Structure 1
Amino acid sequence: MIFIILIYAFIIIINVPGLLKRKEWRELTAFSILYVIALVLGLMYVLDIPIPSPMKGLQHLIVDILGIEYPQG
């Protein structure tokens, strides 16, 4: 787990100062959101916590919220 945190810290040290220096706020926001998602998923994997399937969320969106059903044949 320490190894993953060190790798992520190294990536932050390399990328974030340049984004701040160039005042690229949108890129920094997108980077931060994706970065946090990746960090959480990586830590969940290392700690053997079950990672939820994205297909269940998509199925809920498509079938339950949008009301689109796949034709059963």
Structure 2
Amino acid sequence: MYIFLLIAAFVIIVLRETPSLVSRKQWRELIVFSAFSIIAFTLTFLQLIHVKFPDIYQGAEVLKKIPAIHSFLQ
């Protein structure tokens, strides 16, 4: 059910935004819009099917332990 709603929502967004970008020949904006839409759809879909994402704070703590990055952050 939720997957159908997700697909419907993204189809509506794309159908609403894409024609104006194409008619104004804004190809770069269309590429950026498409890339962000694909990323957003993918992440939302993965959350809907309960895929566990890595904790971003643990990654930040690992990066802090690298000497070059630690001295840059000081």
- TM-score using structure 2 length: 0.73
Greater helix share, 1 or 2?
2
Contact 2:18 2:30 in 1 (8 A): yes
1:15 matched to which residue of 2?
A: 17
Q: 1:59 to 1:18 in 2, by over 3 A?
A: farther
Quote the Cα distance in structure 2 between the aligned partners of 1:28 and 1:10.
16
The Cα shift of 1:61 comes to 7.1
Please name the residue that 1:46 is paired with.
48
Letter in 2 for 1:9: V
Give the drift of 1:51: 2.5
Could you say what the CA RMSD is over the residues aligned between the two structures, in angstroms? Answer: 2.5
The residue identity in structure 2 corresponding to 1:69 is: H
- Percent identity over the alignment? 26
Give 1:7 deviation, angstroms: 0.3
TM-score, normalised with respect to structure 1? 0.74
Contact map agreement 1:41 1:51 (CA 8 A) in 2: no
- Cα pair distance change 1:30/1:61, threshold 3 Å: farther
The Cα shift of 1:49 comes to 0.7
**Contact 2:10-2:41 at 8 Å conserved across structures:** yes
| Structure 2: unaligned runs, 5 residues or longer | none
* Higher RCO, Cα 8 Å, sep 6+: 2
How many residues of Structure 1 are paired with residues of Structure 2 in the alignment? 68
